Amino acid sequence: MAHFAVCFLATFFLGRALAGFDCDSSNNVAVYWGQNSYGQGTGALSQQSLATYCANTDIDMIPMAFLYQITTGLGGEPVLNFANQQNNCMTFDGTELIDCPDIGNDITTCQSQYGKTILLSVGGATYTEAGFATEDAATAAAQKLWAMFGPQQSGSSALRPFGDAVVDGFDFDFETTVSNTVPFASQLRSLMSSDTSKTYYLTAAPQCPYPDAADDPMLNGTVSIDAVFVQFYNNYCGLGSYVPGAADQTNFDFSAWDNWAKNRSLNSDMKVFLGVPADTTAAGSGYTPPAELQPIIEYCKTFSSFGGVMMWDASQDDPYVPFIPK
């Protein structure tokens, strides 16, 4: 396989800190985990445990994908999917919600032993709920997710798929128009801000056409978002549209996202990530070999909002020799 290499990014990002997400850095590396895009169900080439990838010192941030139903699951509970990595999970009675203590232990290990930032990504390509009927419903959904995945609350009856593990924030990967995302995201931000014991993050994964049809309402200066993992693939504005050496890019629109970060985003420290497929099978189009990706990263680093590179997804690399070029 023609593996994209995280070690290439580590070599390129000289002087980077080997820790969690740093909002002051342009050298962050984020890798999505959970969907096993390579597609191998078992064996050495299958998606490995979350902790396996956390042990890689070249990765800073891992969004776990996905929580793909928020309100319409059996029993009114959310639904998670982590492909082959939920095989050892049980299911809470009367629901489709998985109970995954092993993943919970991995989250804690990733945070405490490896210093990683672990997010829970909401949405994905199979999300079809179209949002929330009312603002109150959106607010209630945010409160429920916080009770399930935030700090354990005394007296709460919320089901907790990861036990007492606490994620470092939430990522929004909505692929279609979703109603009432602003009150949903705003409530999560408010709840996270109320807990001063640690730093939490809100991120989003818009597609590269600007503005993004699904996420624009909450990105349009209404919610404080910490980073966007812009998907520069499967679209006309993807990596393949970059013109080497051209100061002004016609279709490759990182500059539009930089302008948004500086002039429309509510968060002045917003970081824009270059989202790339990790290998040829990770996306329909847009995979770019490391040698061709390097000048694109060089170009993106000329923008002050550049925060690093996001890769989809962890399963695309050999789990036993993680991210070593083949």
The answer to whether residue 325 is domain-embedded is no
What pLDDT does 325 receive? 32
pLDDT tens digits for range 272-297: 999 999 988 889 999 999 899 999 99
Domain housing 206: 6-316
What pLDDT does 13 receive? 58
Q: Is the pLDDT at 326 greater than 80, yes or no? A: no
Amino acid residing at 170: F
> Average pLDDT over the chain, rounded to whole?
91
Average pLDDT over residues 72-91: 96
Q: How many CB atoms lie within 10 A of CB 306?
A: 23
Q: Is the pLDDT at 40 greater than 80, yes or no? A: no
Nearest residue to 35 (alpha-carbon basis) of 4, 95, 81, 100: 81
The answer to whether residue 134 is domain-embedded is yes
Average pLDDT over residues 223-247: 97
Pairwise CA distance, residues 223 & 187, whole Å: 9
- Between 36 and 91, name the one with better pLDDT: 91
The answer to whether residue 299 is domain-embedded is yes
Q: Is the pLDDT at 76 greater than 60, yes or no? A: yes
Residue 129, both tokens: 């709920």
Total structural domains in the chain?
Answer: 1
pLDDT band at 174 (very low <50, low <70, confident <90, very high): very high
Residue 37, both tokens: 């895009």
Q: Answer for the pair 187, 139: CB distance below 8 angstroms, yes or no.
A: yes
pLDDT band at 268 (very low <50, low <70, confident <90, very high): confident
What pLDDT does 41 receive? 66
Q: Is the pLDDT at 166 greater than 90, yes or no? A: yes
Which CATH number do you get for residue 120?
A: 3.20.20.80
Which residues in the chain belong to E strands, given as ranges?
28-31, 61-69, 79-80, 90-91, 98-99, 117-123, 169-173, 201-204, 227-231, 271-277, 306-312
Q: Answer for the pair 317, 58: CB distance below 8 angstroms, yes or no.
A: no
Pairwise CA distance, residues 113 & 159, whole Å: 26
Please report where in the chains the tokens 């989250």 appear, as a residue: 107
Return all residues near 169 (Cβ < 8 A) that are at least 6 apart.
117, 119, 120, 192, 200, 201, 202, 203, 226
- Provide DSSP, 234-277: SSTTSGGG--TT-SS-SS--HHHHHHHHHHT-S-TT-EEEEEEE
Q: Answer for the pair 200, 192: CB distance below 8 angstroms, yes or no.
A: yes
- Active-site amino acid positions: 175
Q: Give the dihedral sign, CA 318/57/99/123.
A: negative
Helices then strands, each counted (H, E), the chain:
8, 11
What pLDDT does 19 receive? 73
What pLDDT does 229 receive? 99
What pLDDT does 178 receive? 93
For 3-7, 73-77, 256-260, which range has the lowest pLDDT when averaged over its residues?
A: 3-7
Q: Of all residues in the chain, what percent carry a pLDDT higher than 70?
A: 91
- Between 46 and 158, name the one with better pLDDT: 158
Pairwise CA distance, residues 13 & 303, whole Å: 15
Q: Is the pLDDT at 34 greater than 70, yes or no? A: yes
The answer to whether residue 104 is domain-embedded is yes
Exposed, middle or buried, 251 (CB in 10 Å: 0-12/13-18/19+)?
middle
**Considering the entire predicted model, what is its pTM?**
0.93
What pLDDT does 45 receive? 74
The answer to whether residue 1 is domain-embedded is no
The answer to whether residue 323 is domain-embedded is no
The answer to whether residue 198 is domain-embedded is yes
Return all residues near 251 (Cβ < 8 A) that are at least 6 apart.
236, 237, 241
The answer to whether residue 143 is domain-embedded is yes
Residue 113, both tokens: 């032993």
